Amino acid sequence: MCTPENTEFFLVPPYCKKILKENEDKHDDILEEPLAKIEVSNPSKILQLLADLTNKSTRRLEIKINRYLKNECECSFVFIINIHSISEEGVVQVIQERKLEENIRGILSESAINNILEIKPDNEKSISLDPKIQQLIKDVVPDGSGEVVIVPIIAQEHKGNETDFPVYLVCIVNTLKDSAYISKLVCETFKYCLTTLLNTRQCEEERRLKAECQNLLLVARKLFSHLGDLSDLLKEIMTEARRLTNAERCSLFLLDPDHMHLVAKVFDGMSPADCSTEVRIAADQGIAGHVAATGEILNIKDAYKHPLFYKGMDEATGFKTRNILCFPIRDEDNIVGVAQLCNKIGGNFDYFDEEVARAFSIYCGISIMHSLVYKKIQDAQARTRLSNELMMYHMQVSQQDVLDVTMCPSEHDVPEYSLFSFTPRKILSKETPCYVLKMMKDLGFIDTFRIKIDTLSRFILYVRKGYREVPYHNWQHAFSVAHFAYLALKNFQLIEKGYLSQLEALAYFVSCLCHDIDHRGTTNSFQQQSNSVLASLYSSEGSVMERHHLSQTICTLNTEGCNFLDSLSSQDYRKCLDLIKDMILATDLASHYKIHAKQLNMAQEGFDKTNPYHKYYLTSLLMTCADLSDQTKDWTETKKVAQLIYAEFFAQGDLEKKMGKEPANMMDREKASIPDHQLEFLTQCCICIFKILATIFPSAKVLVNAIKQNILCWESSKRIFDKYSMEGKTSYEVLVSEELETEVQNTLDNIKV
């Protein structure tokens, strides 16, 4: 081995000498190259090393260099820290001859890089290492396990101007040689190896970029093949984001139209259809909110140490979040959403993951916006078809029909009309518009809001025509529900005692009247299963039929000569429509069950008139009670209503059978046990709801008692149903029989005796 005392000189071969140009003064002389001075290295070994550096992988090249340096330095092992100027990151990929499955990485700040430049071999001052460099070395060589000699390798990087930039830190662990010798040996080695290493590293970078471009082109093809369904598109975005960055989980948030909230359309691998609740956060809250507000990528190495991270989700799910990469999704002008990746498999998200995220987000934004536009076109087409269908089905209201209501000479004075025990289905259908007008007069709406009688009458008649001739969800049901709203407003003194304002009371009554307009006699689930036009319009939002009822209510209001709310101020008009929207959507029992516990808590703690949440829970409760009010009438009326309900249920069951599907038992005329279904509905749903109402308004106990009486009647009917079932009658045939009511009454009389 060559030593500083035994210095050899390596002469440049003659064929490498440069020939002077003919026009130079010494054109006949050959320029003599300076000698390549080698002080400590063995030239033959250097040549042998260079001859071996033929691999296309920097890892394999590093293994060969490490092997050479270990032998020459007489050390325990060698490792090289690759310093990437673009990402400003230090990476260890090989320790001696062992390729790491997971690279050891560390971010190197500008101060850390400047610190490396200060520890050049010719700098005799003692330089303390930057903490980030120290940490990177400690990840390989823990404290106390060895002494490390560090030699920086400097090259010129092109960043506008040529500047010195460290490209490698060569670390020699536990050497028997002195540091001066080590520095010279390493510098001499890299003097000849550096070009090969850098070129190979650049080649790897080009291969990585090529693969990244190919991946993104594949992603674009996949995304644009899912434009027809936004939900599928978002799932595909989530899948591709995880694949490209090798992440465990992905959450995808879209900004709502008002940019007030971020809504999770895909969360931890599940779509809202698979989740019981929608994930919604404020647009400026948390990590996703910060990215949405700033538009900057957030790469968090340790989630639990970040101030914006909310660990409550981890505690609830048992999932451990280690690191997060959160990036914005943009369209041409604005941020439309945020994607949040969790837990990169095999390390932390790095600079290259950020670059992939930036490119990927462009494809996401384009595909999402195209999908939304496509959905709007589909919705417009569906609404056009629906409007045409509606226009074909319904006739216009004539002026004479309006006059018949406004100029009706009858007083329409029915005894006990204002009692909860009154049965509104006794009112003749042709007289119901007059009763609706009378109730609105009695409640003071017409005078308070200066409503035009003829406009209101026309609206009522259009609403009546908007209901189809289905067995139960027809105009008679709407009138009954509106009648309960009238009773609640009167008997509970909702306006006088400040539970509702006049405007809220008006919205409540109108919502009850319109809550089932254009009902098809089928459930929300049937609409989705049959892929109806309504399902294509509203299934993504949930509450398919309720949203259609709301749409038809607004459509009726916008019909010429029907907008009886036009006397309201613009502010009150918007508020009234918002109230109608919330109240009609509240009639979906699925929505009720989501807030049932909160309604119960509100009733037990006491209604707070100043609390907007309490106001929402109360109006939702009042809507549900009105919708179910048929169950608070006497047994005779309840039995008649049951006949209508099951006629509608069984008609849907027949349709499902034709579609090749098996209906639920309560929809199957051959399997349904009507008393059991009614008892389940009354005991598990109705009585619970009306007990909450009675807690807030004690006078509503009469409604609870009526339901209890009906429960007794249905329990008594079970034996009768069983008896006739043995004779071959179906459950529905027993329900409509004249004998049922008499036999139930006899059974109850015997129980009393």
Q: Which residues of 605-615 are buried (b: 16+ CB within 10 A; e: fewer)?
A: eeeeeeeeebb
Contacts of 106 by beta carbon, 8 Å cutoff, 6+ apart: 89, 90, 132, 133, 135, 136, 139
Give the number of other Cβ atoms within 10 Å of residue 293's Cβ.
15
Greater pLDDT, 62 or 255: 62
78 touches 70 (CB < 8 A): yes
- How is residue 279 annotated by DSSP? E
**Model pLDDT, residue 222:** 77
Question: Do both 63 and 185 map to the same domain?
Answer: yes
In whole angstroms, what is the distance from residue 724 CA to residue 32 CA? 120
Contacts of 320 by beta carbon, 8 Å cutoff, 6+ apart? 314, 343
Question: Is 473 designated active site?
Answer: yes
Range with the lowest mean pLDDT among 425-439, 524-538, 567-581?
A: 524-538
Does 109 lie in the same domain as 185? yes
H/E element, 101: strand 98-107
Q: Give a yes or no: residue 250 inside a domain.
A: yes
Q: Who contacts 215 (Cβ-Cβ below 8 Å, separation ≥6)?
A: 244
> What sign for the dihedral angle of Cα 410, 413, 417, 422?
negative
Q: Look at residue 166 and tell me if it is in a domain.
A: yes
pLDDT in tens, 663-696: 999 999 999 999 999 999 999 999 999 999 999 9
Pairing of strands 161-173, 247-255: unpaired
Residues 260 and 148 in one domain: no
Which pLDDT band, with edges at 50, 70 and 90, does 266 fall under? low
Q: Is residue 533 part of a domain?
A: no
254 and 185 housed in the same domain: no
pLDDT digit string, tens, across residues 301-338: 889 999 988 887 777 767 889 999 999 988 777 888 88
Of 216, 214, 207, nearest in space to 362 by CA = 216
Q: What is the DSSP string of 657-686?
A: HHTT-PPPGGG-TTT--HHHHHHHHIIIII
> Which listed residue (370, 394, 473, 483) is catalytic?
473
Query: Residue 373: its pLDDT value, please?
Result: 83
State how far the Cα of 690 lies from the Cα of 694, in Å rounded to an integer: 6
**pLDDT higher than 80, residue 287:** yes
Domain finish residue from 333, 350, 368: 368
Tell me if residue 20 falls in helix, strand or coil: coil
Cα R_g (the chain), whole angstroms: 40
**In this structure, how many other beta carbons lie within 10 angstroms of the beta carbon of residue 103?**
17
Are the C-beta atoms of 472 and 641 separated by less than 8 Å? yes
- Between residues 24 and 694, the one the model is more confident about: 694
Whether the pLDDT of residue 244 is over 90: the answer is no
* pLDDT tens digits along 625-636: 999 999 999 999
Q: Are residues 134 and 251 both part of a single domain?
A: no
- Are 188 and 243 part of one and the same domain? no
Is a pLDDT exceeding 90 seen at residue 352?
no
Instruction: Name the pLDDT band for 275 (thresholds 50, 70, 90).
Output: very low
Instruction: Let me know if residue 748 belongs to a domain.
Output: no
pLDDT of residue 388: 57
> If pLDDT is split at 50, 70 and 90, which confidence band does 230 have?
confident
pLDDT of residue 35: 54
Same domain, 75 and 172: yes
Let me know if residue 274 belongs to a domain. Answer: yes
Q: Exposed, middle or buried: residue 15 (CB in 10 Å: 0-12, 13-18, 19+)?
A: exposed
* Residue ranges at the known binding site for AMP: 473-477, 516, 627, 678
- Burial of 582 from C-beta contacts in 10 A (0-12 / 13-18 / 19+): middle
Q: Which amino acid is at 327?
A: F
**For residue 10, what pLDDT is reported?**
41
Whether 418 shows a pLDDT value over 50: the answer reads yes
**Same-domain status, 62 and 182:** yes
Q: Are the CB atoms for 562 and 459 separated by under 8 Å?
A: yes
In a 13 Å sphere around the CA of 684, the CA atoms on its Cβ side amount to 8
- The percentage of the chain sitting over the pLDDT mark of 90, rounded to a whole number, equals 51
Residue with the two structure tokens 């008009």? 573
The conformational region for residue 269 under phi > 0 = left, psi -120 to 50 = alpha, else beta, is left
The 3-state secondary structure of 511-534 reads: HHHHCCCCCCCCCHHHHHHCCCHH
Q: Could you count the other beta carbons within 10 Å of the beta carbon of residue 717?
A: 23
Q: Which of 67, 75, 73 is nearest to 94 (CA)?
A: 67
In this structure, are 187 and 231 located in the same domain?
Answer: no
Tell how strand 148-159 and strand 161-173 pair up. antiparallel
Q: What span, in angstroms and rounded, lies between the C-alpha atoms of 241 and 297?
A: 14
Q: Which domain holds residue 301?
A: 225-368
Q: Judge whether residue 478 has pLDDT over 50.
A: yes
Which CATH number characterizes residue 173's domain? 3.30.450.40
pLDDT at residue number 181: 93
Q: Is 98 helix (H, G, I), strand (E, B) or coil?
A: strand
Query: What mean pLDDT is predicted for residues 449-465?
Result: 95
**pLDDT one-digit tens code per residue, 49-81:** 999 999 889 999 999 999 999 999 999 999 999
Is it the case that residue 741 has pLDDT exceeding 90? Answer: no
Q: What is the pLDDT of residue 7?
A: 37
pLDDT above 80: residue 14? no
570-to-53, 510, 567, 575 alpha-carbon distances in Å: 79, 18, 9, 9
The string of pLDDT tens digits covering residues 363-373 is 888 888 888 88
Summarised one tens digit per residue, pLDDT across range 92-101 is 999 999 999 8
Distance in angstroms (rounded) separating the CA atoms of residues 92 and 301? 17
Helix (H, G, I), strand (E, B) or coil at 343: strand
Residue range 126-134: average pLDDT? Answer: 78
Confidence band (pLDDT; 50, 70, 90) for 298? Answer: very high
pLDDT at 125: 47
Tokens of 559: 């019909």
- Using the predicted structure, report yes or no on whether residue 17 has a pLDDT greater than 60: no
pLDDT tier for residue 1 given thresholds of 50, 70 and 90: very low
Strand partners, 148: 173
Please check whether residue 382 lies inside any domain of the structure: no
pLDDT at residue number 683: 95
Give dist(CA 337, CA 203) in Å, integer: 35
Residue 752: the pLDDT is: 63
Reported as a pLDDT band with limits 50, 70 and 90, residue 280 is confident
Dihedrals phi, psi of 592, to nearest 5 degrees:
-60, -45
pLDDT at 220 over 60: yes
Contact yes or no for 341/325 (Cβ under 8 A):
yes
Contact 546, 584 (CB under 8 A): yes
Domain membership flag for residue 205? no
Q: Could you tell me if residue 236 is left (phi over 0), alpha (psi between -120 and 50 degrees) or otherwise beta? A: alpha
Number of domains in the chain: 2
Band of pLDDT at residue 161, cut at 50, 70 and 90: low
Contact 465, 397 (CB under 8 A): yes
Averaged confidence pLDDT in the chain: 85
CA 181 – CA 192 distance, rounded (Å): 17
* Least confident span in 538-552, 563-577, 586-600, 691-705: 538-552
430 within a domain of the structure (yes/no): no
Cβ-contact 580, 588 below 8 angstroms:
no
Alpha helices in 426-501, H assignment, sequence order? 432-442, 445-448, 453-466, 475-491
Give CA–CA dist 379/87, Å, rounded: 46
What is the mean predicted confidence (pLDDT) over 448-459?
A: 96
Three-class DSSP category at 451: coil
Q: Which residues are annotated as a binding site?
A: 473-477, 515-516, 627, 678
Contact 624, 584 (CB under 8 A): no
282-296, 464-478, 616-630 — which is least confidently predicted?
282-296
Residue 21 pLDDT more than 60? no
State the binding site for Zn(2+). Answer: 477, 515-516, 627
Q: Which residues contact 522 (CB under 8 A, 6 or more apart)?
A: 530, 652, 655
* CA distance linking residue 258 with residue 246, whole number of Å: 33
Q: Tens digits of per-residue pLDDT, 162-202?
A: 567 889 999 999 999 998 999 999 999 999 999 999 999 98
Q: What is the DSSP letter of 425?
A: G
Q: Identify whether residues 250 and 333 lie together within a single domain.
A: yes
Residues 169 and 267 in one domain: no
Q: What is the pLDDT of residue 633?
A: 96
CA distances from 291 to 187, 456, 551 (A): 45, 50, 35
In this structure, the answer to whether residues 115 and 264 fall within a common structural domain is no
Q: How many other C-beta atoms lie within 10 A of the C-beta of residue 339? A: 27
- The answer on pLDDT for 566 being more than 90 is yes
Please report how many Cα atoms fall inside a 13 Å half-sphere around the Cα of residue 559, on the Cβ side: 22
pLDDT of residue 123 exceeding 70, the answer is no
User: Does position 223 have pLDDT exceeding 90, yes or no?
Assistant: no
Residue 728 clears pLDDT 50, i.e. is over it? yes
Distances (CA, A) of 88 to 34, 108, 181, 205, 496: 36, 5, 29, 15, 70
End position of a domain, from candidates 152, 184, 199: 199
Q: Could you say which of 165, 199, 233 is where a domain stops?
A: 199
Residue 380 predicted with pLDDT over 50: yes
Q: Quick one: pLDDT at residue 282?
A: 74
